[in-house]
Amino acid sequence: MINRNPQLDENGVLQHLLTTEGLPASVLLHILDTAESFVGVTERDVKKIPLLRGKSIFNLFFEPSTRTRTTFEIAAKRLSADVFNLNIAVSAQSKGETLLDTVNNLSAMNADMFVVRHAQSGAAHLIAKHVQPDIHVINAGDGSHAHPTQALLDMFTIRRYKSDFRNLRVAIIGDILHSRVARSQIHALTTLGVPEVRVIAPKTLLPKMVERLGVHVYHDMAKGLKDIDVLMMLRLQNERMKGANLPSPEEYFKYYGLTPEKLSLARRDAIVMHPGPMNRGVEIDSEVADGKQSVILPQVTFGIAVRMAVMSILAGNQV
Amino acid sequence: MKIHIKNGRLIDPKNGIDAVQDIFIAKGKIVAIGAAPDEFQASRVIDAQSLVVCPGLVDLSVRLREPGLEYMATLESEMAAAVAGGVTSIACPPDTDPPLDEPGLVEMLKHRAKSLNQANVYPIGALTQGLKGERLTEMAELNDAGCVVFGQPDGLLPNLRVLMQAMLYASTFGFSVWLRPQEITLTGDGVAHDGEVATRLGLLTVPVCAETIAIGNIILLTKETGVRVHLCRISSAEGLAMIRSARQQGLPITCDVSINHLHLSDMDIGFFDSNCHLMPPLRSSSDRDALRHGLLDGTIGAICSDHAPVDEDAKLLPFGQSEVGATGVELLLPLTLKWGSEMRLPLLNVLSKITSDPARILGIDAGHLSLGSAADICIFDPDHYWKVTSSAILSQGKNTPFMGMEIPGGVKYTLVNGHIVYEH
């Protein structure tokens, strides 16, 4: 049976950030606007504000990650929260404790917020469904399902460089099939009114009926990149490079890797994004990654402000 | 014990009866219908006014979880659940631990079940030793021990060479072979139908061709070997169409559908509801609609519960890691009635799908109310609606996608061999 969107309470107020799907544009824009006010903080000498003083935030990473975990940690600390990092991949789970047992134990330590990464799609939803109502859950990536803060920082970046979502053509390029980032980007872009979102990939890297998400499907970079304003590259996982999905990283680079030549097919003022970490020479050429159309490093900086915004909004939205 | 069931609406699909008539039972058998036999002194009279009296239900797939999986459910709990659902004959898949591949195990299960004096248990023998798909089981010996049919129900089909030999061997003795069509190399680690929902949720998928390729192979092997084949748990419109045309060619193939696939689609997964983690996966709504019509035209011979009680912790996991299955034996009658009323069918036709038709597929003398037959009877109130809750369900498994729903059909009495084994 379909329930109410589990991220929102009965008044439509954000309680958890689990996915960008189903969130109204007003909620997404509120997060982006709030992040705008935090960008200044990250540029000051004293980078702390006391919004989350006394709050306990647990980073629950059931899957290894350095970058995302670190940016969440920095964001929480800049808001003066107490941050606890749990690398669960090597602790409780290996002793046979279930996901919900781990969460219940930490809840008993008066957690206010969980930042969760897990290899299984739906893990963050499961936790959000079972925590006490005053605890907030942020999905930092679940399986191939969603990575909403990444998508939001991407939206923030696009808004910084391109004025209006409503006259953009955006292309997402690479392993859509396994990408939680791509799914969250697609929902965020369509919700914010981007009229044309394209996905470009070989057929082995596209999920079935992906067009139902509101995207146009291309298999050819030359056609797919025409008139594009924003290129969102995806990371190709090492284990997918040789096998049943793709024959070799070389062949992939030849047909789908972003080179200066391929980039020249897009609009002249197009920006290039990547969620990191990059495989140079596989999905993107160094000349493009470090080139003047690249906004990959600003994405990382904005990521902190966006995560600060999400945390402060959730902490402020008490039940 | 002599029992007189009076004033009930007797519905007996096999004999084409739908009329208010009394039934008289003595020594475990039906001794008269309509007028009482001479000098019949009932020791118990059941007034079935405004109730339906029909043959005890025959369920083609109920996992009792014994031997070996008692942490999920026990024979006691699941047999009690079965009769509470009006089910008096159950076929049990061999995927226990150890699997039902030795006569001793089957005898033990039959003996345990018999001592409980509830529903009749018909174990499905393992087609291959350990269900590993390598060596044939002693089918004739297993048949002597009580196995009526043979199968590989977890979808792990043997390689085609072994499967062909197993089918030939089974046909030697006239046994039918029960298979859930699944090409495992296409299923892989998939947990959901390859469609829009899995794409949105980022779940690993099971394409429809995992079912149709297996059905295609099985149809060709049926032609080759001449064995009677029953295909368990059809999930797709395409697979159904293949079976329909094979039947039109006169091949001895039957199939069934589960109550879950009859009413649900992948949309019901919603936000990762692990109660909808089923195998085969819930498919699209057009697949579901095709299955609902496949029953109507007779391509699908029976509805089964595909009862699979799971312990609660095993469902409190992310969707892909949660245990497969749903409890269902108590929902078989209500969800069949629900299908029937939604399709505007007469009760006589509806009830055949859970009584006489599955009995014929299983090859047992049950599912009808003929004179002289064993008095396996279900008496229910068709107008009683009840809510599916943990406490309303007797099965040890509380996992079902229908939790919280109001469904029709309240069982009042269940009789097995003329004994009242359930009374509500």
- What pLDDT is stored for residue B195 in this prediction? 97
Q: Which residues on B lie below 8 Å from A16 (Cβ)?
A: none
Q: Supply A296's token pair.
A: 């990959």
Determine whether the annotation assigns residue A235 to a binding site: yes
Task: For chain A, positions 239-298, list CB contacts with chain B under 8 A.
Answer: none
Q: How far is B1 from chain A (nearest CA, A)?
A: 46
Contact state of A142 with B313 under an 8 Å Cβ cutoff: no
Determine whether the annotation assigns residue A118 to a binding site: no
Question: Looking at the DSSP assignment, which residues form a beta bridge with residue A86?
Answer: A60
Q: Out of A6, A100, A208, name the one closest to residue B271 (CB).
A: A6
Give the separation between CA B67 and CA B94, rounded to whole angstroms: 10
Helix (H, G, I), strand (E, B) or coil at B39: coil
Angle between helices A148-161 and A67-78 (to 10 degrees): 70
Instruction: Grade residue A317 by pLDDT with cuts at 50, 70 and 90.
Output: low
Nearest chain A residue (CA) to B273: A1
| Domain A25-147+300-316 matches domain A148-295 at the CATH topology level | yes
Contact state of B318 with A121 under an 8 Å Cβ cutoff: yes
Q: Are B152 and B179 in contact (CB under 8 A)?
A: yes
Residue range B267-322, pLDDT digits in tens: 999 999 999 999 999 999 999 999 999 999 999 999 999 999 998 889 999 999 99
* DSSP class of B7: S
Q: How far is B319 from chain A (nearest CA, A)?
A: 6
Q: Supply B244's token pair.
A: 């329909």
Cβ of residue A212 closer than 8 Å to a chain B Cβ: yes
Task: For chain A, positions 62-121, list CB contacts with chain B under 8 A.
Answer: 98-100, 118, 120-121
Q: Which residues on B lie below 8 Å from A122 (Cβ)?
A: 201, 203, 271-272, 318-320
- What pLDDT is stored for residue B69 in this prediction? 83
Contact state of A98 with B316 under an 8 Å Cβ cutoff: yes
What pTM was computed for the model? 0.94
Angle CA A230–A234–A238, to nearest 5: 160
Query: What is the DSSP code string of A83-131?
Result: EEEEEGGGTGGGGT--HHHHHHHHHTTT-SEEEEEESSTTHHHHHHHHS
Please give the share of chain A, as a percent, with pLDDT higher than 90: 78
Please give the share of chain B, as a percent, with pLDDT higher than 90: 92
Cβ of residue A130 closer than 8 Å to a chain B Cβ: yes
Domains of chain B (ranges; CATH) run 3-52+374-382+394-423 (2.30.40.10), 56-362 (3.20.20.140)
Residue range B395-412, pLDDT digits in tens: 999 999 999 999 999 999
Contact state of B319 with A122 under an 8 Å Cβ cutoff: yes
Instruction: Grade residue A10 by pLDDT with cuts at 50, 70 and 90.
Output: confident
Contact state of A121 with B201 under an 8 Å Cβ cutoff: yes
Cβ of residue A213 closer than 8 Å to a chain B Cβ: yes
Give the separation between CA B126 and CA B179, rounded to whole angstroms: 11
Q: How far is B231 from chain A (nearest CA, A)?
A: 27
Give the total residue count for chain A. 319
Residue range B241-266, pLDDT digits in tens: 999 999 999 999 999 999 999 999 99
Instruction: Single out the residue of B397, B267, B260, B322 nearest to residue A3, CA to CA.
Output: B267
Active site residues of B: 306
Helix (H, G, I), strand (E, B) or coil at B52: strand
* DSSP class of B200: H
Amino acid at B344: R
Mutation site, A209, A211, A234, A237, interface B, largest B CB count within 10 A: A209
For domain A25-147+300-316, the CATH superfamily is: Aspartate/ornithine carbamoyltransferase (3.40.50.1370)
Amino acid at B322: S
pLDDT at B18 over 60: yes
Instruction: Grade residue A106 by pLDDT with cuts at 50, 70 and 90.
Output: confident
Q: How far is A314 from chain B (nearest CA, A)?
A: 21
Q: Which residues on A lie below 8 Å from B405 (Cβ)?
A: 1
What number is the average pLDDT over the span B126-151? 95
Q: Which single residue is written with the structure tokens 């107020």?
A: A13
Q: Are B100 and B123 in contact (CB under 8 A)?
A: yes
Distance of CA A199 to the CA centre of its chain: 17
Residue range A252-307, pLDDT digits in tens: 999 999 999 999 999 999 999 999 999 999 999 999 999 999 999 999 999 999 99
- What pLDDT is stored for residue A93 in this prediction? 57
Give the separation between CA A113 and CA A76, rounded to whole angstroms: 10
**Long-range contacts at B401-404 (CB < 8 A, ≥ 24 apart):** B401/A1, B401/B260, B401/B264, B401/B268, B401/B273, B401/B275, B401/B276, B401/B326, B402/B263, B402/B331, B402/B335, B403/B275, B404/A1
Contacts of A100 (CB under 8 A, 6+ apart): A126, A127, A130, B316
Determine whether the annotation assigns residue A95 to a binding site: yes
- What pLDDT is stored for residue A1 in this prediction? 40
Nearest chain A residue (CA) to B196: A209
Q: Out of A1, A120, A209, name the one closest to residue B318 (CB).
A: A120
Q: Are B347 and B423 in contact (CB under 8 A)?
A: no
pLDDT at A95 over 80: no
Q: Which residues on A lie below 8 Å from B195 (Cβ)?
A: 208-209
What number is the average pLDDT over the span B94-111? 92
Question: Looking at the DSSP assignment, which residues form a beta bridge with residue B62?
Answer: B307
What number is the average pLDDT over the span B172-188? 96
Residue range B190-239, pLDDT digits in tens: 999 999 999 999 999 999 999 999 999 999 999 999 999 999 999 999 99
Residue range A13-27, pLDDT digits in tens: 999 999 999 999 999
Q: Which residues on B lie below 8 Å from A100 (Cβ)?
A: 316
Q: Are A88 and A59 in contact (CB under 8 A)?
A: no
What number is the average pLDDT over the span A133-137? 93
Question: What architecture is the A148-295 domain classified under in CATH?
Answer: 3-Layer(aba) Sandwich (3.40)
Cβ of residue A166 closer than 8 Å to a chain B Cβ: no
A with B: how many residue pairs have Cβ under 8 Å apart?
80
Q: Which residue has the higher pLDDT, A89 or A135?
A: A135
Mean pLDDT of chain B: 96
- What pLDDT is stored for residue A2 in this prediction? 46
> The sheet that has B377-387: what strands, in order across it?
B17-20, B9-12, B52-55, B377-387, B406-416, B419-423
Contact state of B199 with A142 under an 8 Å Cβ cutoff: no
- What pLDDT is stored for residue A241 in this prediction? 78
Q: Which residues on A lie below 8 Å from B268 (Cβ)?
A: 1-2
Instruction: Grade residue A92 by pLDDT with cuts at 50, 70 and 90.
Output: low
Nearest chain B residue (CA) to A130: B316
Q: Which residues on B lie below 8 Å from A143 (Cβ)?
A: 202-203, 318, 320
Q: Which residues on A lie below 8 Å from B200 (Cβ)?
A: 21, 183, 213
Q: Supply B191's token pair.
A: 């947990």
Cβ of residue A142 closer than 8 Å to a chain B Cβ: yes
Question: Exposure of A51 by Cβ count < 10 A (0-12 exposed, 13-18 middle, 19+ buried)?
Answer: middle
Residue range A41-82, pLDDT digits in tens: 767 777 788 999 999 999 999 888 888 999 999 999 999 999
pLDDT at B43 over 70: yes
Nearest chain A residue (CA) to B191: A121
What number is the average pLDDT over the span A33-37? 95
Contact state of B200 with A213 under an 8 Å Cβ cutoff: yes
Contact state of B316 with A120 under an 8 Å Cβ cutoff: no
Determine whether the annotation assigns residue A277 to a binding site: yes
- What pLDDT is stored for residue A96 in this prediction? 65
ipTM over cut 0.90: yes
Give the separation between CA A173 and CA A201, rounded to whole angstroms: 6
Give the total residue count for chain B. 424
Q: Out of A2, A21, A208, name the one closest to residue B195 (CB).
A: A208
Q: Are A164 and A192 in contact (CB under 8 A)?
A: no
Q: How far is A144 from chain B (nearest CA, A)?
A: 4
- What pLDDT is stored for residue A319 in this prediction? 44
Contact state of B318 with A207 under an 8 Å Cβ cutoff: no
Q: Domains of chain A: which residue ranges?
A: 25-147+300-316, 148-295
What phi-psi label fits residue A6: left (phi over 0), alpha (psi between -120 and 50 degrees) or beta? Answer: alpha
* DSSP class of B279: S
Contacts of A241 (CB under 8 A, 6+ apart): A248, A249, A252, A282
Cβ of residue A8 closer than 8 Å to a chain B Cβ: no
Q: How far is B273 from chain A (nearest CA, A)?
A: 8
Mutation site, B197, B201, B236, B387, interface A, largest A CB count within 10 A: B201
pLDDT at B132 over 70: yes
Mean pLDDT of chain A: 92
Q: Is the peptide bond before A148 cis (omega within 30 degrees of 0)?
A: no
